[in-house]
Amino acid sequence: MSTGRLHPMSAAIREIAGMFAGMGFGIAYGPELEDEWYNFDALNVPADHPARDMQDTFWTKEEKRRVPRTQTSSVQIRFMEEMQKENILPPYRIIVPGKVFRNEATDATHEAQFYQCEGLAIGEGISLAHLKGTLESFFKEYLSADAKVRFRPSFFPFTEPSVEVDVWYEVAGKEGRWLEVMGAGMVHQTVLKNVGIDPEKYQGFAFGVGIERLIMIKHGVPDVRLFHSGDIRFNHGFDVTRVEDNLKDMAS
Amino acid sequence: MKVSRAWLQKYFEEPLPEVEEIADALTFHSSEVEEIKGEMMDVKILPDRAGYALSHRGVALETGASLSLSLKSDPLRESLPEFLTTDQLTVEVDDSYVLRHLGAIVRGVKVGPSPVWLKEALESVGQRSINNIVDATNYVMLNIGQPMHAFDLAKVSRGVNGETRIIIRRAAAGETVTVLTGETYTLATDMFVIADATSGAALDIAGLKGGMASGITETTTDLLVSVGTYNGTTIRKMSQALKLWTDASLRYQNKISPELGAYGMRDILKLITDIAGGEVVGVIDVYPNPAAALPHVPATLERLNAILGTSFSVEDVTTALDRIALPHQVEGEMFTVMPTFERTDIATVQDVAEEVGRVLGYDRVLPEQLPAMQTAPDQRKFLGLERLKDVLTEHGFTEISTQSFAIEGEIVLENPLQSDRPALRTTLVENMKDAITRAEFVAPLVLGTEPTLKQFELGSVFKKDREHFALTLGYKQLSGKQSASVLPEAVQALVDAFPASGLTVPATINPAICELSLENVNLEAVGEGYDPIKSTLSEYKQFSIYPFALRDVAVWTLSGTEESEVALTIAGAAGDLLARMDLFDRFEKTDATTGASRISYAFRMVFQSDSRTLADTDIDPAMTAITEALNAKDGWEVR
């Protein structure tokens, strides 16, 4: 009997999870169908704020409408709330790989459903420089040893300062280039206050990266719509090499 | 926001660099320049800066900060005149909507074409020149960010004493306004109009767009100039409801300061009298609750550096604040920033840190590693999910991923993207059925002669009151007989692998498709200590979207012939339409009379093109070539 194949998304998330585990990041989960509070208000996006127009949102037809989450950032809130409830003080470090939804026309680079990996690090003295260091380490490991990270000013309601993150990507035989890969920043003090964390004592960074986009860059996938098409020809478009044989562990 | 280099240049003594260099500086220090067209840049002003930067003045300030150039003058730092009042105008406002309104009467203007400089300025940012009055209001808005409107005073009724009476009020239900561009909008009671208080007629949609009936024409001589500041949230709702977004509504919804109104009135009155003549009769300023000065923001050097992870000095921070024109005091290492009225975005030490970081440049933030954590990271739930997947791939199942939107479900969307998939899925079964059908169709291409098709998906399903992970297995026998035991055995293997996890075998298992709920499964326990199988993926090779065709070939070879020799011979002769081939039969036979032994190899070949659907006329020559190549081998014979 031949071995089945993991979806490339699973393979990539395993790689990413392993790299962040090395930097002390756990993994957290939250619902894909969110309350407005977790998806917007708690993240410092009040009702009728123009920032709500920044993302095209699906809404449910329910008495109290809910939202298929537009970002995995909602899990930041749930995670930090949970920690407060259990009286566990920072430092916190998590990543949140998961599906998010945007109500926008689809094309080769846009999908209404995609995976995002949120990152959150909260502690005493966690700075924008740590964000840069963390992302640079990640990209050096995930993309290429020559990877470098640069920041540009940006705006997100849930971070201040906010930055766009570009990564320098160089592969043999191709000219190196800067790629726009994610948004990030220092967690907004209102977000920390919303979950009961003292922003005078603790601070930290958050980032959110589209996983399909990373895979597309790294492996040359031409169209984001292939990922969740349920088409096994996509799985078989990659040659898979197992890094190490872990069958022994599985049998135990 | 479209800005032109020539317009920005008005703010600087020194010549500005080329537009590409300005764009680069803005992108790395302020807001991204999305497009450059000649001398025009489209700057994507970030929402938090929109209160001051949706203007050439604002972008000039940002340009100066980014390039270390000082503005030669700043219209918002120049003093305001004392406006003369007048009894020829009264303005009544609903202060739930109107934060401030300045109205002015100007008599004796001459409407005509704009002077060349004004036409050029507007055209440099892609706007059309209309007449000197309308152009003037547009110019001032694009220059300092304050929207405004000029009415033809003659088209507004007079009161008993000859005065003009204006009211800014809620629209009546169903009240209509025909705007300057000709469209008629029907308003609701949560919308507001500027109305003629004498006649009661609505003149325009307040804050959104001027009305046609009171518009400026060639014969206009007297003006009512209206410079308002309106509730940004209400404006946003009005724009959304009417699907009417204007340069004015964009600025209002970003909550420009009502203080700006007076600067707008100062500039528009000067510009109109300069280019169209006339005389300002007076100004009525209705400002129910004047905005208080913005609070001072304390920021220690230590805190700024702690946020950014930098080691900036007092001088560095001072330089940055000076470059972005934020007034401040410094005592030792303690800064107090005193934001000017338009800088509503500066309220916290984090805001100040952003200004310092971006003005000095984020390239000065050097990468730093996080300190080590005292506790090991908790990835157990994730590892639990991955462990289930590993068991299934080891049992030959391939993972798929499908869409969460479904034809039917317990929760439907208000605004689905596809009207035929309005619901959130309650099960992965439907998508699995569809995926199996499609996989069966492409199986020869991706699975070759593999007799079974086995797939799984792990994903969220949505019930009215809860959401949980489900794991769905699909199976189809491609050649031979469909087995009733493949899925039950796989499920049993999963359950057996994790006995105390809460994973259970369903009461009945459909032999072709089976869904397990992971709702009550202790995934943390499953994942505890697990090290998932890791693999690396190659560069992706896109499959062809064109149909493929199958052909078989069987050949007798001499005893001792290896499979690879046959395969190489076929591959060498087939040409580039051969997508894959698989051996599906091999047997050896000894001739009873001669005693000679021969081996038969049978291959299935898949032909496919990346650019078209293949016809027999494409494949036949390849088959002929393969047959000839095989027959040419000594002792080989195609059967």
Q: What is the pLDDT of residues A182-193, one digit of tens each?
A: 999 999 999 999
Q: Which residues of A touch B434 (CB under 8 A)?
A: 230
Q: Find, in chain A, the residue whose alpha carbon is nearest to that of B496.
A: A251
Q: Is A102 on the interface with B (CB under 8 A)?
A: no
The residue-averaged pLDDT of B244-263 equals: 95
HSE on the CB side for B359, CA within 13 Å?
25
pLDDT of residue A251: 41
Share of residues in chain B with pLDDT > 90 (%) = 91
pLDDT at B60 over 90: yes
The DSSP secondary structure of B191-206, one letter per residue, reads: SEEEEETTT--EEEET
Say yes or no for a CB contact (<8 Å) between A237 and B358: no
pLDDT of residue B163: 94
What pLDDT digit, counting tens, does each position of A77-118 carry?
999 999 999 999 999 999 999 999 999 889 999 999 999 999
pLDDT at A248 over 80: no
Q: Is B391 on the interface with A (CB under 8 A)?
A: yes
The residue-averaged pLDDT of B362-375 equals: 96
Q: Is A220 on the interface with B (CB under 8 A)?
A: yes
Of A59, A103, A238, the CB nearest to B540: A238
Residues counted in chain A: 252
The residue-averaged pLDDT of A127-155 equals: 96
pLDDT at B265 over 70: yes
Q: Is A166 on the interface with B (CB under 8 A)?
A: no
What pLDDT digit, counting tens, does each position of B511-527 carry?
999 999 999 999 999 99
d(CA A169, CA A181): 11
Of B27, B446, B538, the CB nearest to A152: B27
Q: Is B134 on the interface with A (CB under 8 A)?
A: no
Query: Roughly what angle, to the nearest 10 degrees, separates helices B349-360 and B301-308?
Result: 70
Say yes or no for a CB contact (<8 Å) between A233 and B462: no
B352 neighbors B335 (Cβ within 8 angstroms): yes
pLDDT of residue A1: 55
pTM: 0.91
d(CA A198, CA A87): 13
Share of residues in chain B with pLDDT > 70 (%) = 100
Q: Is B237 on the interface with A (CB under 8 A)?
A: yes
d(CA A136, CA B370): 12
More confident residue, A2 or B163: B163
Q: Which of residues 223-242 of A touch B (CB under 8 A)?
A: 227-242
pLDDT at A249 over 60: no
Q: Is residue B430 exposed (0-12), middle (13-18) or buried (19+ Cβ within 10 Å)? A: middle
What pLDDT digit, counting tens, does each position of B192-220 carry?
999 999 999 999 999 999 999 999 999 99
Say yes or no for a CB contact (<8 Å) between A230 and B308: no
pLDDT at A53 over 70: no
The residue-averaged pLDDT of B579-591 equals: 91
For the record, the structure tokens of A171 come out as: 């592969």
If we measure between CA atoms, which residue out of B452, B442, B453, B454 comes closest to residue B544?
A: B442
d(CA B264, CA B141): 8
User: Is residue B593 very low, low, confident or very high in pLDDT (cuts 50, 70, 90)?
Assistant: confident
Q: What's the first-to-final CA gap in chain A, in angstroms?
A: 21
Say yes or no for a CB contact (<8 Å) between B365 and A151: yes
pLDDT of residue A250: 44
pLDDT of residue A50: 63
Say yes or no for a CB contact (<8 Å) between B307 and A4: no
Q: Which residues of B touch A121 (CB under 8 A)?
A: 370
User: Is residue B19 very low, low, confident or very high in pLDDT (cuts 50, 70, 90)?
Assistant: very high
The residue-averaged pLDDT of B429-438 equals: 96
DSSP B509: -
What pLDDT digit, counting tens, does each position of B173-189 carry?
999 999 999 999 999 99
Average pLDDT value over all residues in chain B: 95
User: Is residue A245 very low, low, confident or very high in pLDDT (cuts 50, 70, 90)?
Assistant: low
More confident residue, A137 or B46: A137
Q: From the CA of B445, how many Å to the nearest CA of chain A?
A: 8
pLDDT at A252 over 60: no
> Omega of the bond prior to A91 within 30 degrees of 0, cis?
yes
d(CA B344, CA B350): 14
Stated as kind and residue range, the H or E segment containing B495 is helix B486-497
Q: Which of residues 22-51 of A touch B (CB under 8 A)?
A: 23-27, 29, 31-33, 48, 50-51
Say yes or no for a CB contact (<8 Å) between A237 and B540: yes
Q: Which residues of B touch A1 (CB under 8 A)?
A: 395-396
